[in-house]
Structures are given as structure tokens and as C-alpha cells.
Chains A and B, each alone.
Chain A
């Protein structure tokens, strides 16, 4: 089992460009999450999903959109990137809301 994988690992964008980050899990988990982690800081929840076809806002959703068309995939989109979105993005999945979360390796995004 690969667990949770994230694509790409690194990306550099110019202000105003758009991109999509892909998260995939092979554990048949219902819940999936997108977090951002700024240097030296903790995790902040962007959006999450409690099942295929559902999405919900987390603590810092502005500037991001998500989709969960398939149970195993959770996509995070940036429509118009801003330097403030420079961060490391982590995806995670879990069986339920309070259950153990399994994290991907992260995507390091720089917006110039």
C-alpha cells in the first residue's frame, strides 16, 4: 500500500497563475483533508471532505477550492495564486472524524 501520495512534490508559480494539487489514498478512507503549514508554524485546515462528492470549509479556505469526485482522490485548486499562499501543503486521510490521520509527504509551493 502506498498510503497517501501527493503530486507534485515541488512547484513554483507566478502571482495570478493557477494550479491543482492532487492527493490520492489507497486505504478506502472516507475522510480527507488539506492543510497548509507555513515555516515554523503548525497545521491549518483548508478544506476537508467526509465522503465522495462532499466538501467543507476549514479554518483558512479563502483562495482555495476543492473537489472529491472519487473516494480515493482529493484535489486542491488555487485559481489565482498569491505570494501569501507560499507554504507546504499536506493532505491526510482517515476512517472517521476523530480517527488517526495518515499524512502525505507534502507539496512545497512557492508563489513569486
Chain B
């Protein structure tokens, strides 16, 4: 049974770099890994997506090793407004959606 595992919660301080890792077992060999951010009382919103190696956009970086059994979301120089729940999403070998349970990130001043 495919499963994605991520830490339940993390704390950090403003200005620090935060890395959140998902472990993906039984991941599809040729589809994207996507990360979403969710604030209270809102729907999740897209942060970044990648297939392998490293992807960077204006808000985050995503590192995916060659075996694709994990992915790491990196948030550079976090601020209080980055306090949210972060989810990873992938497809399993049957191309079914597999969501992580979410990581609650709390940024302290």
C-alpha cells in the first residue's frame, strides 16, 4: 500500500531556512511530486512541483533524489507569514493520488 510520510510539525525562527521532507514509497516512476501550502480556513495552494533533481522558483526549492523515494521542500529565510500547513502530493504506481498528512510549520519571531 502506497504511503507518504512527513513530519507532523516543525518550529523555526524568522530568517532561517526550513526544510521539510516527505518519504514516498511505491511512487510512480514518471510523474510529478507537488507541494502545497494551506492557511487556516483556506484551500491548499500550489508552491512548487518537480520530477527529479532540483527545482527553484521565487518562493521555494524542491530537491528530489534520483530514486525519487523522498522529496525535500526548502523555504529560504522564512517569515511569520510562512506559518501554515505544508502537504506533499505524488502518484503511486497505480497513478492514484497520495497526499501526505501535512506538516504544521510554526515560525517564531
Q: In the complex, what distance in Å separates the CA atom of A78 from the CA atom of B104? A: 31
Chain A binding site: helix, strand, loop or mixed by DSSP? loop
Assign chain A's interface to a size class: 20 to 34
Select the stretch in B16-24, B43-51, B63-71, B72-80 that faces chain A: B43-51
Taking a contact as CB atoms under 8 Å apart, the answer to whether B43 and A92 are in contact is yes
Chain B stretch 18-50: residues in CB contact (< 8 A) with chain A: 28, 31-32, 34, 36, 41-46, 49
Chain B stretch 54-109: residues in CB contact (< 8 A) with chain A: 87, 89, 91, 95, 97, 99-102
Nearest A residue to B31, CB-CB: A98
Contact with B along A74-112 (1 / 0, CB 8 A): 000000000000000010100001111111111000000
Chain A stretch 25-64: residues in CB contact (< 8 A) with chain B: 33, 41-43, 45, 48, 58
Given the complex, which residues of B lie within 8 Å of A102, measured CB to CB?
A: 46
Nearest A residue to B47, CB-CB: A100
Known: A42-B87, A97-B95. A103 touches B45 (CB 8 A): yes
Distance to closest chain B CB from A102 (angstroms): 7
Number of interface residues of B (CB under 8 A): 21
Known: A45-B97, A98-B32, A101-B46. A106 touches B91 (CB 8 A): no
Q: In the complex, what distance in Å separates the CA atom of A96 from the CA atom of B80? A: 34
Taking a contact as CB atoms under 8 Å apart, the answer to whether A99 and B42 are in contact is no
Taking a contact as CB atoms under 8 Å apart, the answer to whether B46 and A100 are in contact is yes
Taking a contact as CB atoms under 8 Å apart, the answer to whether A97 and B99 are in contact is no
Of the residues B32, B45, B87, contact of A99 by C-beta under 8 Å: B32
Distance to closest chain B CB from A46 (angstroms): 12
Given the complex, which residues of B lie within 8 Å of A43, measured CB to CB?
A: 44, 87, 99
Q: In the complex, what distance in Å separates the CA atom of A38 from the CA atom of B82? A: 22
**Assuming A48-B97, A90-B44, A106-B43, what are 14 further A-B pairs, CB within 8 angstroms?**
A42-B102, A43-B99, A45-B97, A45-B99, A98-B31, A98-B32, A98-B91, A99-B32, A100-B34, A101-B89, A102-B46, A103-B45, A105-B43, A106-B41
Q: B residues within 8 Å of A by Cβ? A: 28, 31-32, 34, 36, 41-46, 49, 87, 89, 91, 95, 97, 99-102
